[in-house]
Chain A
Amino acid sequence: MILITGASGFIGSHICLLFEKNKIPYTILKRQETQDSNREASNTISIEWPEGINLLDLSKFSSILYLTYIPICQSMSQEAIEYANLLPISLFIDRIKESNPACHLLFISSQSAISHTASKYGKIKLAAENLIKKSEVSWTILRPGLVIGASSKGLFSRISTLIRWVPIIPLVGTADNVIQPVYLSDIGNVIMKIVGSPESYAACEYNLASSPIKFHDFLRKIAISFHLKRLFLPLPKKLVYFSLLLIEHLWKNAPVTTTNLLGFLDLRIMPVEASWNALKMSPTPLGEALKGIAKEQEALNDLPFPYDLEIEAKILFKTLFSVSPSTKLIKRYLDAHQMNKSMEICDPSIKYILSHQLDIEAVELAIRPKKTILTKKLLMLTFLAEIDPITSQAMVNEKDCRFFAFASLFYFFIRSIYKKVKGHFLLWRHPKCMTP
């Protein structure tokens, strides 16, 4: 039995599918505050993170696959970063020693985990590696490059979405930094191999990536794999950095952060051949991987969309507040539909928008004058969010902050113009967005 943490993430969700496909028994360890859009599975343990680790019974697990990473935002203090990302590892180490010393810890680190990195992400991964290496438990560390795969999660998905939707792609500097992508399936295969016989890979660390490629070539290859023509626009590094810094302050869950940027700029070519040889495997070439991803993405898009009111609430709420709604809020949203008979429980236009993953914010802005049910449902959620002590702070300014107010208003003004144009474009391409 394998215990997996971070199962809702990009790599984690792929690994869970692999385990299921290969009938490998596994248990998901979930943070209590996490609102995963997946259903609560029977093989899930939900704990208060990280204190709950102390109470775990690890005796039945042969391996722990540690994938959790709590995103760092600029305003987080060093203590908070360590509390969220380092303390859980040391608690796991202690727990393994106490309850099951034979249990193997498989830790997924990063290519950025190098000593001279300026990236907070890289630093924390490096610190975690050191903690594990110094411990007396059985461990393996995997250090993947930029993981690429078909999913709506992860950095690669954000990059590929950007390329799909934006005709002009900004580049940081000349973007001739070298990156080493690695195909998600390759990572999956390595993990399967290690959890199959952990003792053979104890105290080993592996660099998992394919051949180096310049970043702008990588972006071009992605555009080609989607059959798109894109213009790439180099921008000064400092301008990009400060823009990202501003975005991070305004947008809690910004898709690309300064941490990503610093990590990216600090990347150095890592030797990978020895690792693949030791694993007796070879990486999928980039071109082949991108082709595979394009096919997998199509297959994902063709899957029937599991639409129900709860999923609708989660997606719409996230569109507004960038965080998942609480269970109480979802229940109230469902109750409101029960009370109000004029409220469509399964509205075809909303189902269409969600299943095609259209930009809800843009579509809503374009159709707002028509007073559609989408606007009504989004407004319902703002009312429910307003009485929630956590999200209500998004609507009430408790301290004077003139600079951020102006910056925020300017940002959202520009963003709204863009969303309006995009919304009309989406309406033109997807007339089903509007209920007749």
Chain B
Amino acid sequence: MYDAIIIGSGLSAVSAALKLRPMKILMLDVGLSPPPPNFSSRNIYVMRREGNDLFNGLIGASYEAFQGLDGNYISPKLKGPQMRYFWECPQGVSQNNLLHFDATTSYARGGLANAWGAGVMRYTSRELERFPIFVEELNPYYDELTSHLGISGEADDLASFFGSSCNLLSPLSLSPLASSFLKKYKQKRSKNNIFVGRTRLAVLSQDYRGRPAYKPLLQDFFQGYNHSIYNPFFTVEELCSECSIDYRPGFFATRFIEQSNVVTVVAKNLSNNCEELFQAKQLFIGAGAINTSKIVLQSFNDYETKLPLLDNPVAFIPFLDISKIGKAFPENVFPGAELIVVHNDKTYSEPVQASVYGLYGPMRSDLIAELPLSLRGNISAIKYLGAALGMLQVFFPDKASPSNYLQLQKDGSLTICHAVEDKKKYLDRSSQYSIYPFLKLLQGMNYFASSYLCKFPIAGSSIHYAGSLPMKKDAQSLYETDSNGRLAQTNAVYIIDAANFPYLPSKNHSFTMMANAMRIAERAKNKNN
């Protein structure tokens, strides 16, 4: 029997594992692996210029790049042929039924972090107001993770939103677009409700703990496994090499049974489709909010209850830097979120955060259909606007609503239902979801931005799933967790991923999810001892 079983190998699972050492730990995971890299480690634009055929890397033998041409939005980051392992559903695992919701689940080793933006921002006291925990409880874990992951960033105007800047690595160099964005902000920094600064990224700006510094090869959208960008599986490998965990890929955990201080996990061995049982004193479920909820519902054989599901509503606001029209396409840049804008407009009840991207990562063709000219015109526009086009990805906060839920079906699948998204809420100037404060900000900085070009993808697109098993101070119901992450009516079953978030502020939740998983694991370990 193990001391602890962890389900999953994503950000929260590995964070918990770090804290549970030196207990005897079993990590159960489906653990799909990425295919071997099919690019040499060179910039893809240089390779193409030299006449290399990049068909297999960019389009794929099964024409994976053509996904989404039907008009259904799919993140360009998930389309690459090498990213198939990320979203592939293994045989023997039932697919979810989706209604007005785009749920991305991953059975890859390292989980959803295989395609994350690597943004690692701490929650503030204000953002934790609806949580039964305080920021002081998370701070030591944030600090520990900062040293473990290697985070690039700096102490700037966002320090009051992102917390301590101790142990940060120097920031990555900025693209010309982001650099001029920051410069314009600094020149016009007069209002006290707008803050712009560097994104804190789990991307290495220098060699760190045996991992190399980031090289801008623009392969990020096409390769899932870059040693310079933190992937939780690096920690799994570390823990395995020091024999701290027993990592078992190829197992799909379906339910748990708790009896007299022993938790039994039932998992399907995907190689022979047979169920196997694993026992431990404590169970930590970190399979991602959707899969974690499924395991819990299956454990209670509950086909009636509708669990809430949160996901940050998201709006994309393209903008154009007119001074950069016709400039050469920057090939040596980081294609992720380089800057963060925090807007504390009076329209919003709390600060709303947006990431600033240059559109360097996806294939040019992914952007062609989004422009308003004829296709010939769009081809020319994408050429000359390549260095001038940016995107503001605004994340709005989300709270539980009866219309947004997930429910287990008798066939073992989940139905995930979301209210039809009313896109007008983004265009209503007085709404909590209004994009106008950001449009005004961009226009004030002399960027061209128009509400006509904004995109509002279907719910679920931000892939910030949370809130199905919320933490409560006085947790009592079957599907609530206490402030230590323990499922209310169990003795030793802990929810360590974002399923236990009672609320989703307007911020990437990954870092807090990791810190919280560490906090839960440490308290559970102490309790066990």
Q: Is the CB of B365 within 8 A of A382?
A: yes
Q: Which of B48, B51, B375, B382 has the most A CB atoms < 10 Å from its CB?
A: B375
> Which chain B residues numbered 289 to 345 have a C-beta less than 8 Å away from chain A?
325-329
* B374 interface neighbour in A362, A387, A404, Cβ under 8 Å: A362
- Structural contact, B326 and A386, CB atoms closer than 8 A: no
CA distance A397 to B324 in the complex (A): 12
Query: Measured between alpha carbons, how far is A406 from B365 in the docked complex, in Å?
Result: 21
Question: Which chain B residue has the least Cβ–Cβ distance from A408?
Answer: B380
Chain B residues with Cβ below 8 Å from A404 are 326, 384
Contact A413:B377 (CB < 8 A) given known A395-B383, A408-B384? yes
**Chain B residues numbered 40-55 whose CB sits less than 8 Å from any CB in chain A:** 45, 48-55
Q: Is the CB of B377 within 8 A of A376?
A: no
Q: Answer whether residue B58 sits at the interface, using C-beta atoms and an 8 A cutoff.
A: yes
Task: Check if A395 sits within 8 Å of B382, measured CB to CB.
Answer: yes
Q: Is the CB of B364 within 8 A of A413?
A: no
B73 interfacial contact with A, CB 8 Å: no
Task: Say whether B387 faces chain A, with CB atoms less than 8 Å apart.
Answer: yes
Q: In the complex where A383-B66, A387-B55 touch, is A392 in contact with B48 (Cβ < 8 A)?
A: yes
* Cβ-defined contact, B383 with A406, below 8 A: no
B388 and chain A: residue at smallest CB distance: A405
Q: How far is the CB of B369 from chain A (nearest CB, A)?
A: 6
- Number of B residues whose C-beta is below 8 Å from A? 43
The answer to whether B242 has its CB under 8 Å from any CB of chain A is no
Q: Does B71 contact A (CB under 8 A)?
A: yes
B59 is an interface residue with CB less than 8 A from chain A: yes
CA gap between A243 and B379 in the complex, in Å = 21
One of A118-126, A177-185, A332-340 at the interface: A332-340
Rounded to whole angstroms, the CA-CA distance of A380 and B383 in the bound complex is 18
CB–CB B375/A387 < 8 A: no
Residues in chain B near residue A416, CB distance under 8 A: 372-374, 377
Q: Which residues of B contact A376 (CB under 8 A)?
A: 69-70
Q: Are B69 and A379 within 8 A (Cβ)?
A: yes
Whether A412 contacts B51 by the Cβ 8 Å rule is no
B residues within 8 A CB of A413? 373, 377
Contact B326 A389 (CB under 8 A): no
Is A415 close to B, CB under 8 A? yes
A394 to B49, CA, bound (A): 12
Kindly state the separation between the CA atoms of A387 and B57 in the bound complex, as whole angstroms: 10
Q: Pick the contact of B379: A365, A375, A394, A415 (CB < 8 A).
A: A394
Contacts of B66 in A (CB 8 A): 336, 340, 380, 383
Q: How far is the CB of B375 from chain A (nearest CB, A)?
A: 6
CB atoms of A405 and B325 under 8 A apart? yes
Report whether B377 and A339 are in contact in the complex, using a CB–CB cutoff of 8 Å.
no
Residues of A contacting B375 with CB < 8 Å?
Answer: 319-320, 361, 364-365, 375, 378-379, 382
Task: Judge if A401 is at the interface, Cβ distance under 8 Å.
Answer: yes
User: A165 interface residue, CB < 8 Å from B?
Assistant: no
Q: Do A386 and B70 have beta carbons less than 8 Å apart?
A: no
Q: Distance (Å) between the CB of B48 and the closest chain A CB?
A: 6
Residues of A close to B374: CB separation below 8 A: 361-362, 364-365, 412, 415-416, 419-420
Q: Which of B55, B71, B365 has the most CB of A within 10 A?
A: B365
Q: Is A398 engaged at the interface, CB distance under 8 Å to the other chain?
A: yes
Q: How far is the CA of A135 from the CA of B369 in the complex (A)?
A: 56
Given known contacts A395-B379, A400-B327, A340 and B63 CB-to-CB distance under 8 angstroms: yes
Interface centre among A250, A321, A368 (most CB of B within 10 A): A368
Task: Return the CB mask of A8-37 against B: 1 if under 8 Å, else 0.
Answer: 000000000000000000000000000000
With a cutoff of 8 Å between Cβ atoms, the chain B residues found around residue A408 in the complex are 380, 384
Minimal Cβ-Cβ distance residue in A for B367 = A395
> 0/1 per residue, B18-57, Cβ < 8 Å to A?
0000000000000000000000000001001111111100
**CB of A428 closer than 8 Å to a CB of B:** no
**CB pair A387 B53 closer than 8 Å:** yes
- Nearest CB in chain A: distance from B19 CB, A: 45
A39 CB-CB contact with B under 8 Å: no
Q: Enumerate chain B residues within 8 angstroms of A335, measured Cβ to Cβ.
A: 63
Residues of the A chain whose Cβ atoms lie less than 8 Å from the Cβ of B50:
389
Would A383 and B327 count as touching, CB distance under 8 A? no
Whether the pair A382, B377 counts as a contact (CB closer than 8 A) is no
A320: B residues at CB distance < 8 A:
375-376, 379
Are the C-beta atoms of B48 and A387 separated by less than 8 Å?
yes
- What are the residues of chain A within 8 A of B365 when measuring CB–CB? 379, 382-383, 385-386, 395
Say whether A371 faces chain B, with CB atoms less than 8 Å apart. Answer: yes
From the candidates B51, B55, B58, B383, name the one contacting A396 in the complex (CB within 8 A): B383
Q: Which residue of B59, B368, B387 is within 8 Å of A379 (Cβ)?
A: B368
- B382 to chain A: which residues have CB within 8 Å? 395
CB distance from A397 to the nearest CB of B (A): 5
Q: What is the CB-to-nearest-CB distance from A118 to chain B, in angstroms, rounded to a whole number?
A: 30
Q: B326 contacts A401, CB within 8 Å? A: yes
How many angstroms from the CA of A110 to the CA of B51 in the assembled complex? 39
Q: Are A397 and B327 in contact (CB under 8 A)?
A: yes
A116 at the interface (CB under 8 A from B): no
Of A250, A339, A379, A392, which is within 8 A of B63 by CB? A339
Q: What is the minimal beta-carbon distance from B291 to any residue of chain A, in angstroms?
A: 29
A412 to B376, CA, bound (A): 8
Cβ contacts under 8 Å, A250 to chain B = 380
Asked whether A402 is an interface residue with its Cβ less than 8 Å from the other chain, the reply is yes
> A280 within 8 Å of B by Cβ?
no
Interface string of A400-427 (1 = CB under 8 A from B): 1111111011001101100110000000
Interface residues of A in 290-334 (CB under 8 A from B): 319-321, 332
B364's closest neighbor in chain A, by CB? Answer: A395
Q: Are B63's CB and A400's CB within 8 A?
A: no
Is A384 interfacial (CB 8 A cutoff)? yes
Given contacts A396-B386, A408-B380, contact A389 B48 (CB under 8 A): yes
Please name all residues of chain B whose beta carbon is closer than 8 Å to the beta carbon of A395 when the two chains form the complex. Answer: 364-365, 368, 379, 382-383
Decide: B384 and A380 in contact? CB cutoff 8 A: no
A400 contacts B326, CB within 8 Å? yes
What 0/1 readout, one digit per residue, does chain A (220-258) give for beta carbons within 8 Å of chain B? 000000000000000000000000000000100000000
Report if B158 contacts A (CB, 8 A): no
A351-375 Cβ-contact flags toward B at 8 Å (1 or 0): 0000000000110110010010001
A225 to B369, CA, bound (A): 41
User: B182 at interface (Cβ–Cβ under 8 A)?
Assistant: no
Instruction: Say whether A399 faces chain B, with CB atoms less than 8 Å apart.
Output: yes
Establish whether residues B58 and A386, one from each chain, have CB atoms under 8 Å apart when the complex forms: yes
Q: Which residues of B contact A389 (CB under 8 A)?
A: 48-52
Distance, CA A392 to CA B329, complexed state (A):
13
**Separation of A365 and B374 alpha carbons in the complex (Å):** 5
CB <8 Å contact, B45 and A383: no
Query: Is the pair A386, B380 in contact by a Cβ cutoff of 8 Å?
Result: no
Q: Which residue of chain A has its CB nearest to the CB of B377?
A: A412
Interface assignment of B174: CB less than 8 Å from any CB of chain A: no
Beyond A361-B374, A365-B374, list 9 extra A-B contacts (CB 8 Å): A319-B376, A364-B375, A382-B379, A395-B364, A395-B368, A395-B382, A396-B45, A404-B326, A420-B374
Q: List 19 A-B contacts (CB under 8 A).
A: A321-B379, A335-B63, A336-B66, A340-B63, A342-B70, A371-B71, A378-B375, A383-B363, A383-B365, A387-B54, A394-B379, A396-B364, A397-B327, A397-B386, A398-B329, A399-B328, A404-B326, A412-B374, A412-B381
9 closest residue pairs by CB, A with B:
A405-B326, A412-B377, A405-B384, A402-B326, A371-B71, A416-B373, A395-B364, A382-B365, A383-B365
